[in-house]
Amino acid sequence: MSKTKINRRNFLKVLGLGGAGAALAGCDMPSTVTLEEGEEKIYSYLAPEEYVIPGVGVWYASTCLQCPAACGTHGRVREGRVLKLEGNPDSAVNAGKLCQMGQAALQAHFNPDRITAPLINGQPASWDDALALINEKASGGNVAWMTGTVSGHQRVLLDAHLAATGKGHHYAVETVNARAWTDAGKTVLGDAMPTLHLDKAKAVLSLGADLLGTWISPVTFMGQYGKFRAAPRGVLIMVEPAMSLTGANADQWVAAKPGTEAAVALGVGHLLMTKHGLSLNGMPNATSAFQSMTPAQVHEIAGVSEAALNKIADTLVSHSPSLVIANASHAAARIAMVLNIMLGNVGKTLTPGASIAADPLAPMMGSSKDLAEFAQNAAAGKIDAVFISGANPAFVAPQGLDMAAALKAVGFKVAIATCHDETTKACDVVLPLSSALEDWGTHVPAYGGKPGVVHLQQPLMEPLHADTRGLGDILLTLGKSAGVDGLDAFEDYYGYLRTAVSAMIGSELEGDWHRVLQAGQFETRAASRAFSAGHDVALGFSETAVSGLHLVTVARQGLYDGRHANSSWLQEAPDQISKAVWDSWAEIHPKTAASLNLKDGDYVRLTTASGAITTRVFIYKGVHPNAVCVPMGRGHTDYGRWANNGVNPLTIVDAHLGDWQSSEIIATASLVKIDAAGENRHLVRLMDTDQQYGRKLVATIPAQQFGRTQGGA
Amino acid sequence: MSSLLGNIFKGWSDYTKGNEEGGHHDYEHMYAMVIDLDMCTGCNACSTACYAENNLATVGEEYFGARQAMHWMRIERYFDEPNVGEAEADTQSRGASFLPMMCQHCNAAPCEPVCPVAATYHTPDGLNAQIYNRCIGSRYCANNCPFRVRYFNFYDHQETAWPAPMEQQLNPDISVRSKGVMEKCTFCIQRTRAARNTAKNEGRAIRDGEIQTACQQTCPTSAILFGDLLDETSAVHQAWKRHQVQLGKYAQNKTNPELRGYRIFEELNVDTKVLYLERVREV
């Protein structure tokens, strides 16, 4: 892997010339011509630059922005085009690996439906006109920002803009979030983001935290999972209403009624106390909560058998140290934290986290609470203008929030986006954003990185569309017009970032800057945290409705919360569980199907208090009979040529049902009515069978046998 | 014409030799794979990496439904576990079984002798290769493949799969296939070629681990190993040895039958070069 030291600006200039080279070495050239030794010399390259060799790819480090985890990447650049992304082996977050969403960042960049020019009221306009209009309409009053998870110097500039414009608020919106876990960590242990050591745990109990799929930093966790499964092999137990990717890899998958994971966790604690003699010193509240939830009650509330509950408790005790994680609800996450204290995992598999000392750069993690708050404040006329970037509130908001009306109530809306979506359509001004592979930035991973390490995002390619601008550049421009002190010194975001990074690494030398570019990251001072003694918080199980059918909306690694639905690779990548492509489906249990006389591919109408959607059923045993599981991500109406398929279950989630002691919208609380819609059409899937018919395709052996041979290690 | 017939006869002779002598050991390299099914989470990262690396066309819902998708690397998912007995009646209590399935690069590949134009053959690297320019689209090879890992271009997908500017992402190291041509996993032969040239320019042998296939490189749990089976120091060779799986046999005679390595459809005697390690569950 060659990493040539070059002048960055020169590099970009050079890439501009690279178009001529691209025409020479076109994509239809067979590999043998370009790769046979010496053959590359046959090209007469028009203006050969010092390092650009036709036919030879060069790798540049950058950062993945496909989900909030901020993995380090290497992009292969050849003849001025970025061709392939890999994980950056030097990044402690992903250690050289990428998930399929990271691989598909190429399609977000080369997407045929990119916005190429600024729009005012839907009509093409110049940057000058757009910025003038913004200055006029969004310079005073309550100017808000809505983004996804944001960190690094983009956050610094954004905060500065907010401070300069007045009294606005920053709403960070992530439908897929770990808010339950981080809140519980803060409450119980005094640390919102403790470090998990899956690789050291001998058993892991997860209560609805899809750590291999979408939770916090899936590639970090999958890397640890690989070690967890090496001899001596760890045991994974998953409790959830509908099977996630993590559940699909569990040794023991336990179906709980939607929203009852907290009861199961209390039941486990009960058995740990009564059967295994564990106790909690100085935590009388927690102790009494555990004592009052008997296995019989768990069976009644959650539908989890006493045998299954005993097996969980026994495994946690016999496989020490273990680890209990949760994301199902705030209640479940708190109980999980306390279970870790009871099991003696704290300090072994759960240790205090550490992060960057420079607080202004720390990630502002999104939540659905911010989405609801935005809708309320906007509808109440408290927001005069809003900038929206990296969020699609019009798509992810439940109908109950009436986001359309809320957005209408905001006088002036600016979308900063790479592609049109449901939100840009509702905005007055749309600014065309550079893709993540064309932009500069710094990103502080919320989890999994080496403490104090900042990931650098650098362009892997000259902008595809001349009139797009980077987020940092737009923030800089906005900051300057808002009168933020000190920004006038910087001509562009690159200059700003380079100065800022040089200051952080304590060197202005060209060589040190190049080292940062090559590494794709740099180290700055870390601040480690410490756990407080376990806080004896109230533990309980919120008695939301636990009978009847519930709608369970889940995110899958792939389309995620819908932001990747405009990728043809991810649309055609079969869903990990149902193996369906290009359309939505509802997962239901065979018992539910039998009671309604439904068969695979039947269309059903799912009706909640908030609305209705119609989709096909996929029948299997990986959902609780009380759950109807509809993965999110599809059902777009304005998101490019590939996204117009399926249904969006988020619209019919009941938004008023806040989680226990939080305002997060919970994905499992909506009661749903299911009616046959009459039609049947085959759901297109990778495979139409779930059976191996006696062939040895995936052979499974018992763990004892694995133990005897150490897995053949 | 004579060279064509020569190819066909050579293909047939290699095929019989593979059966009789336990693989082709006159190769320079023999690239092979090991996939640990207990580490594989079925996340599909390998498959999408393959789309990016190998210019795989997306075909859309209709053609996908007609079994005309181009996923060289696909993740099959099963819900039964024949070796450890039936799961609980009402719940999928031990999760799902995932199987990454791609061309197994059989040493005695059933696809090779049936090609009327010798478009599919074995390279000196021990790879089962497809010459797109020679392929006439008879589809006999796909018909003869027990793993269903050969993909035929029933249509030209260029316009729909790579609308401008997406064609700029296409990997120039390999071609874009057009209508009427069979395609399949190549074990990322372009990466093998690049490594071979680098090693040759530096006057050394290819190092173990120097060549990573796209699926292996991205695999978040590192479930995939790739390397030269003829290199006795390679991780792949060591793994095959540890698991006591030998080429050229249609039934292994392990001193410890509890070792996890197995090959899919070994009994067909096609001598595949992908070693799978059994999935494990607490039962």
CATH number for the domain spanning B250: value is 3.30.70.20
Separation CA B251–CA B249 (nearest Å): 5
Query: Which of the listed CATH numbers 1.10.10.10, 2.40.40.20, 3.40.50.970, 1.20.1740.10 matches domain A550-680?
Result: 2.40.40.20
Angle at A668 between CA B45 and CA A401, to 5 degrees: 100
In angstroms, the first-to-last Cα distance of chain A is 30
A119-172+366-433+468-505 domain in CATH 3.40.50.740? yes
- The total number of structural domains in chain B stands at 1
- Asked whether residue B246 is domain-assigned, the answer is yes
Domain A8-109 has CATH 3.40.50.150: no
Indicate the pairing of strand A453-457 with strand A521-523. Answer: antiparallel
Confirm whether B167 is domain-assigned. Answer: no
For A241, which residue in chain B has the nearest alpha carbon?
A: B91
Q: Which of A22, A694, A712 sits opposite B243 (nearest CB)?
A: A712
Rounded Cα–Cα distance for residues A668 and A665 (Å):
9
Tell me phi and psi for residue A554, to 5 degrees: -130, 155
Mean local confidence (pLDDT), B21-48:
87
pLDDT score, position A38: 41
Count of Cβ atoms closer than 10 Å to residue B22 Cβ? 15
Q: Is residue B16 part of a domain?
A: yes
Q: What is the pLDDT of residues B175-218, one digit of tens each?
A: 999 999 999 999 999 999 999 999 999 999 999 999 999 999 99
Amino acid present at A517:
L
CB count, 10 Å around CB of B103?
26
Q: Are A255 and A624 in contact (CB under 8 A)?
A: yes
The band of B89, judged by pLDDT with boundaries at 50, 70 and 90, is: confident
CA distances from B253 to A665, A695, B262 (A): 58, 20, 11
On the question of pLDDT at B15 being above 80, the answer is no
The strands making up A441-443's β-sheet, listed across from edge to edge, are: A441-443, A453-457, A521-523
Mean pLDDT calculated for residue range B88-113: 93
For residue A32, what pLDDT is reported? 31
Cβ count within 10 A of residue A510 = 12
C-alpha separations of A307 from A272, A296, A315 in Å? 14, 11, 12
Question: Model confidence at A8, in pLDDT bands (50, 70, 90)?
Answer: very low
Maximum CA extent, chain A = 81
Q: How, if at all, do strands B74-78 and B97-101 pair?
A: antiparallel
A621:B79 CB<8 A: yes
Does residue A146 surpass a pLDDT of 60?
yes
The position carrying tokens 């001004």 is: A429
- pLDDT > 90? residue B13: no
* pLDDT tens-place string over residues A248-275: 999 999 999 988 999 999 999 999 999 9
* Short-list A532, A678, A691, A654, CA closest to A596: A678
According to the model, what pLDDT value does residue A21 have? 28
- B90, B168, B172 ranked by CB distance to A34: nearest: B172
By DSSP bridging, strand A627-631 and strand A670-671 are: unpaired
| Six-digit token string for A440 | 């500069």
Which alpha helices (H) appear in A85-151, and where do they start and end?
A: 100-103, 105-109, 127-137
- How high is the pLDDT of residue B147? 96
Domain ranges of chain A: 8-109, 119-172+366-433+468-505, 179-356, 550-680
CATH fold, domain A179-356, is Dimethylsulfoxide Reductase; domain 2 (3.40.228)
User: With 70 as the cut, is the pLDDT of residue B22 above it?
Assistant: no
Task: Summarize the confidence of residues A465-477 as an average pLDDT.
Answer: 95
C-alpha angle A87/A93/A97, rounded to 5°? 25
Rounded Cα–Cα distance for residues A171 and A450 (Å): 27
Look at residue B174 and tell me if it is in a domain: no
CA–CA separation, B50 and A212 (whole Å): 20
pLDDT, one tens digit per residue, over A206-219 is 999 999 999 999 99
Average pLDDT, chain A: 88
CB neighbours of residue A29 within 10 Å: 16
Q: State mean pLDDT over A565-592.
A: 96
pLDDT, residue A18, reads 27
With cut-offs at 50, 70 and 90, classify the pLDDT of residue A110. very high
Rounded Cα gap, residues A470 and A474, in angstroms: 6
Give the residue, A9 or A418, on which the prediction is more confident: A418
pLDDT category at A166 given cuts 50, 70, 90 is confident
Contact A254 B93 (CB under 8 A): yes
Task: Please check whether residue B120 lies inside any domain of the structure.
Answer: yes
B130 touches B184 (CB < 8 A) = yes
> Beta strand A673-680 with A602-608: parallel, antiparallel or unpaired?
antiparallel
CB atoms within 10 A of CB B136: 12
Is-contact B247 B23, C-beta < 8 A?
Answer: yes
pLDDT score of A96 more than 80: yes
* Measured distance CA(A334)–CA(B84) in Å, rounded: 36
A29 has a chain B CB within 8 A of its CB: yes
Confidence check: pLDDT of A661 > 60: no
Compute the distance between CA of residue A330 and CA of residue A323 in angstroms, rounded to an integer. Answer: 17
Are the C-beta atoms of residues A69 and A220 closer than 8 Å to each other? yes
- Chain A residues within an 8 Å CB radius of B48: 100, 103-104, 569-570, 573
Q: What is chain B's mean pLDDT, rounded?
A: 91
Distance CA A66, CA A71 (A): 9
Q: Would the CA dihedral through A624, A630, A632, A633 be positive or negative?
A: positive
Q: Alpha-carbon distance B78 to B87, whole Å?
A: 12
Nearest CA in chain A to B148: A687
Q: How far is A12 from chain B (nearest CA, A)?
A: 17
CB contact under 8 A, B282 and A582: no
Beta carbon pairs, A and B, within 8 Å:
319
Q: Is the pLDDT of residue A400 over 80?
A: yes
A577 to chain B nearest CA, in Å?
A: 7
Residue B154 lies in a domain: no
Q: If we measure between CA atoms, which residue out of A402, A473, A468, A378 comes closest to residue A430?
A: A468
What is the chain B residue with the closest CA to A39?
Answer: B197
Question: Is B213 contained in some domain?
Answer: yes
Kindly state the percentage of chain A with pLDDT values over 70: 91
Q: How confident is the model at residue A67 (pLDDT cuts 50, 70, 90)?
A: very high
Q: Is the model's pLDDT at B1 over the cut of 70?
A: no
**Residues of chain B contacting A684 with CB distance shorter than 8 Å:** 61, 64-65
Question: Cα distance from A333 to chain B (closest Cα, Å)?
Answer: 23
Q: What is the pLDDT of residue A11?
A: 34
Mean pLDDT in residue range B1-8? 64
Task: Give domain status of residue B210, yes or no.
Answer: yes
Round to whole Å and give the CA distance between B67 and B143.
Answer: 13
Could you tell me if B184 and B72 are in contact, meaning their C-beta atoms sit under 8 angstroms apart? yes
Distance CA A45, CA A198 (A): 51
> Residue A571 is encoded by which pair of tokens?
């649309």
pLDDT in tens, A285-324: 899 999 999 999 999 999 999 999 999 999 999 999 999 9
Question: Closest Cα partner for A248 from A234, A236, A262, A261?
Answer: A236
User: Which range marks the domain in which residue B113 is found?
Assistant: 2-55+70-148+182-277
> Does the pLDDT at position A657 exceed 60?
no
Residue owning tokens 């410490």: A530
Instruction: Tell me what pLDDT residue A30 has.
Output: 32
A247 in contact with B, Cβ within 8 Å: yes
Q: Tokens representing B231?
A: 């290199």
Q: Which residues of A, range 73-102, sit inside 8 Å of B by Cβ? A: 78-79, 81-87, 94, 96-100, 102
Span A672-681, mean pLDDT? Answer: 92
Whole-number pLDDT of residue A606 = 96
Distance CA A445, CA A454 (A): 7
Match 């399926």 to its residue by tokens: A646
pLDDT of A20 strictly over 80: no
pLDDT per position as a tens digit, A608-656: 998 999 999 999 999 999 999 999 999 999 999 999 999 999 999 887 6
- Do residues A440 and A497 touch, judged by C-beta distance below 8 A? yes
For residue A159, give every residue at least 6 positions away whose Cβ sits within 8 Å of its Cβ, in sequence order, or none. A170, A360
Residue A179 in tokens = 């808010």
The pLDDT score that the predictor gives to residue B17 is 64
What sign results for the dihedral spanned by CA atoms A327, A331, A332, A336?
positive
Surface of A (146-205) touching B: CB under 8 A: none
Distance CA B258, CA B243 (A): 9
What is the residue type of A106? L
State the CB neighbour count (10 A cutoff) for residue B180. 15
pLDDT, mean of residues B141-162: 95
Contact A63, A456 (CB under 8 A): yes
Alpha-carbon distance of A529 to A533, in angstroms, equals 13
Instruction: Name A303's Cβ contacts closer than 8 Å, sequence gap at least 6.
Output: A255, A256, A257, A260, A624, A625, A626
The answer to which of A98-107, A661-670, B72-81, B224-233 has the lowest mean pLDDT is: A661-670
Q: Is B282 in contact with A235 (Cβ distance < 8 A)?
A: yes
Q: Do B93 and A253 touch (CB under 8 A)?
A: yes
Is the predicted ipTM greater than 0.95, yes or no?
A: no
The predicted structure's pLDDT at residue A546: 67
Contact A222 B96 (CB under 8 A): no
In terms of Cα–Cα distance, which of B272, B278, B275, B277 is closest to B103? Answer: B272
User: A84-118 burial, b for 16+ CB within 10 Å, e for fewer?
Assistant: bbbbbebbbbbbbbbbbbbbbbbbbbbbbbbbebb
**Is pLDDT at A25 greater than 50 in this prediction?**
no
Has residue A50 got a pLDDT over 70? Answer: no
Termini Cα distance of chain B = 60
Q: How confident is the model at residue A508 (pLDDT cuts 50, 70, 90)?
A: confident
Ranges of H-type helices in A110-151: 127-137
